[in-house]
Amino acid sequence: MHLLGSPASPFVRKARVVMAEAGIDDIPFVEVTASPLGGDDGLNAANPLGKIPALSREDGPTLYDSRVVTRFLDARYNAGLYPATRLWETLTLEATADGIMDAAVAITYEKRHRPEEMWFAPWLDGQWSKIARSLDAIERQWMSHLTGPLDMGQIAVGCALAYLDFRHGDRDWRADHPALAAWFATFADRPSMVATAP
């Protein structure tokens, strides 16, 4: 197996954090370039959508979409990151974090692939509104889950917040989310997060 991805992708980071937390060291990481304008031929051959992460396997088709890859890794290596006793909460929190990442990556792509005079401010603001609403919801409803035993929801939130700092540091997400900021200050120091920082 090989994990195809970019170190800068928050979705790839989710898979890499899972690997670090589960002690998985037998899956090589292969850097590829993903782009909404085309991307790497090798990646496109592995995943027709051209998205990362993608997990190539010798005994089956390539797996893709970060949630598919992380569920597969969790099941194969018995990592316990999708606990049955709180599965739906974990999946919902992961989906919320993935939505934050989707919106943040969309803003990044808009600014990277279009000339500044073509940036559509209402669309950019709309993407940030999704992020802000999601952060509000996590601060309001999910702090007790975040402080429980480690699971995939926590990993996804940690990767989402780290990506906001990495690509959108000019927007102060911490100002209105003090509890989440305090949680992230500790979570970001986990060895798995430090080892996978872009």
How confident is the model over 155-169, as pLDDT tens digits?
999 999 999 999 999
Provide the token pair at 53: 């992460």
161 within a domain of the structure (yes/no)? yes
- Cα 14 from Cα 97, distance rounded (Å): 11
Bridge partner residues of 5 (DSSP)? 31
Pair (6, 100) in one structural domain: no
Give the confidence band of 38 by pLDDT, cuts at 50, 70, 90: confident
Full domain range(s) for residue 39: 2-76
Pair (105, 182) in one structural domain: yes
Rounded mean pLDDT, 127-147: 97
Q: How large a percentage of the chain has pLDDT more than 70? A: 100
**Strand 29-31 relative to strand 2-5, pairing:** parallel
Pair (180, 135) in one structural domain: yes
Phi and psi for 5 in degrees, rounded to 5?
180, -175
Pair (92, 70) in one structural domain: no
142 within a domain of the structure (yes/no)? yes
Provide the token pair at 112: 């990277």
State the pLDDT at residue 124: 93
Pair (132, 170) in one structural domain: yes
Pair (93, 58) in one structural domain: no
Torsional class of 7: left (φ above 0), alpha (ψ -120 to 50), beta (otherwise): alpha
- Cα 185 from Cα 194, distance rounded (Å): 12
Q: CB burial class (10 A; 0-12, 13-18, 19+) of residue 190?
A: middle
The amino acid occupying position 106 is: A
State the pLDDT at residue 118: 85
State the pLDDT at residue 114: 85
196 within a domain of the structure (yes/no)? no
DSSP code for 176: T
Q: How large a percentage of the chain has pLDDT more than 90? A: 86
User: How do residues 51-96 score in pLDDT, each as one tens digit?
Assistant: 999 999 999 999 999 999 999 999 999 999 999 999 999 999 999 9
Provide the token pair at 7: 């170190």
State the pLDDT at residue 131: 98
Phi and psi for 128 in degrees, rounded to 5?
-65, -35
Structural domains of the chain, count:
2
Which residues, other chains included, contact 38 with Cβ-Cβ below 8 Å and sequence gap of 6+? Answer: 44, 50
195 within a domain of the structure (yes/no)? no
* Site of tokens 């959508």: 49
State the pLDDT at residue 149: 95
Pair (93, 150) in one structural domain: yes
Pair (69, 92) in one structural domain: no
